[in-house]
Structure 1
Amino acid sequence: MENPAKQQANGDLDPSLKLALALAIVKTRRRQKLPSSSAATAAAAAAAANGDSQGISGDNSKSDAIKWKTKAKQRKEEILRLKEDLKIAEDGVYHDVFPQNVSCKCYFYDNLGQLSPKSEYDQQRIGDVLRRRFLRQDTAIESEMEQLRASVDFLVELCETSSPREVEESKFKNWSHQAVDFILATLKALLSGGKIDEKIESIVSSLIMRLMRRMCNESQGEELAECNTFQFYVQHLMRKLGSDPYVGQRVILSVSQRISIVAESLLFVDPFDGAFPKMHNCMYIMIQLIEFLISDNLLSWSTRQDFDTKLLEEWVLSVFHARKGLDLLESRNSLYMLYMDRVVGDLTRHLGQDSFIKMLRPDALDKLFG
């Protein structure tokens, strides 16, 4: 094969290569600011394009051809690198705007079984992705009442059919989170529209009773420890639902009444009876739930315009009545009293503030603090 430099000397170079060499010479001379007249530059370009090699001969022509061919190759490689960098940069911007694999950190089950910090009463973390998915599942339901009923049934059936062994499955966490958010959103819409009636009261009461029954599920033997784990998840669901005062106050009322019933039953149960550990566990988890609801929400509830002060008085009296019922069990288990005294102490501190003193009737205050 004939040498490229020899081909150039004989005027056999490809016309496109000749033109590229000529343009490279012009651009290089301009960049280096070599003294060259425009006429000479144009003549050199025309000579290269037309195959005129009379001004290039011998060793000079060979070295110039190799040099400019090398520069043209380097320029081509540089252009390719720039195109690749541009593609990478464009891909990076696209992925920043439209991330392909987003791992969503769900905060719904944060503070499971733990008291919330006092400064975080008003913080509400909502998994928007989960909520949108659940909303899309219920778009066919037009009535807000039916939406509430459907989401309540979904949550309760999920809790009643889930096995304690499967509590760590992501599906249970995701679906329960969606259902709780949807229930709270629907209740908020009904409350703001003044649509609260006996039907909604019945739906919410059924929700509370069924979840409370699942929370105090009676498991035996080796399944008891696993069941306890699942009970804390159900407790956490009731805690989250209780962020709305309409639900939360009713949860405290129902749970405190159940504490009084269980306390009376424990008086007649043999400590060695198989039912005793289940009742003991249920007692602890109910007292803890009341403590969570009071600590998390009582102050924020009081700022709501729709806060039901009559219901407040009712459940406060029920909590104090439950405390007296546990007093009878002190000889059997003093821990009940210690836990309940902590709840009552926290409740009393809140009710002693001016905002609550103005809400409660004088005769109710006399019953509480008399």
Structure 2
Amino acid sequence: MSPPPVEDPSDLSVREMYEMFLDAKQLDYTEETLRDYETRLRQFVEWAEDGNEIERMGDITGWQLEQFKPYRQGQDLAPTTMKGQMTALKVWLDYAADIEAVDDMLPYKVNVPTLTQTEETDDTLLEADDAKALIEHYRESQVEYATERHVALELAWFTGARLGALRSLDVGDYQSADQLIWFRHHPDSTPLKKKVDGERPVGLPPETCEVLDVWIKSVRPDKRDGDGRRPLLCSRQGRPSVSTIQNWIYQATLPCVASSCPHGKDPRSCEWTERSKASQCPSSRSPHQVRTGSITWQLNTGLSFEAVGTRVNSDPDTLRRYYDKASDVEKLEQRRRAFVEKLNFESDDS
């Protein structure tokens, strides 16, 4: 998209600047990050166009930015969502200031909330016991073994990978004999969040490999994507979209799959069991919540933050702050495993 033919960039409409920003950042951001900016900034664009007297970028004032904040807060957003909303707005205005569409100081007038560590983290995750029950159900099922949702859940849980990384996998990235899978960066089609730094092999349990072997040999649609690659997670149309994989995960984690409904509903008539409505079930889990649960579980097994960080492509400090959802007792057990032998009198030669 070429820039609109205007002499003064401050005359650009809010929507024109929104579209220019998304176009300019296509090479800088992954598809998932770009989609986040598109969603968050669209809220401001629609608010600005809806009778708030902002016809051009030059009309935006600090007062209007402050008015937008309570408008979004009034929609009962989670603290982290609100922070993401205002951070995206500031980044967008930084871009606008760089091309002289707004005053240099305007981005600094965006009031980005400062959150406590408790507010920064979302405690919703797929619990290890629930993951175990679900995965055991799929492994024992004659009907659902090695289906799309089963394969997606096995990969998400036992790698702890991000959604974009799962989508990037090709059949050739899986090495059955070595029981591992490679995550690789394809910048023009399926980029990893940390690009080349995100490339890594991840070991898989033998049972997961058995599932993948059956999936590839007997279940996976024989399709290629637009680049001629053979996606590991594959639909009848080829490489699935992000929303399709999200839906597979939501369906895979419906609690009634492996146990009775915790909400008192009959799965035979419950609308949440419909393919397009699984995300509405309060107890189904998103790919990010599966990742969080997986990371917590891996840490609870005694793996170090460094080892888990390598597997899931995240630095140890980030894991400690955002992903380690272990209880205080579980954290005590993690520390105890590392030092209990040193604290044992019997190991003291003196």
TM range (shorter): under 0.3
Structure showing greater relative contact order (alpha-carbon pairs closer than 8 Å, 6 or more residues apart): 2
TM-score, with structure 2 as normaliser: 0.24
TM-score, with structure 1 as normaliser: 0.23
Higher helix share: 1
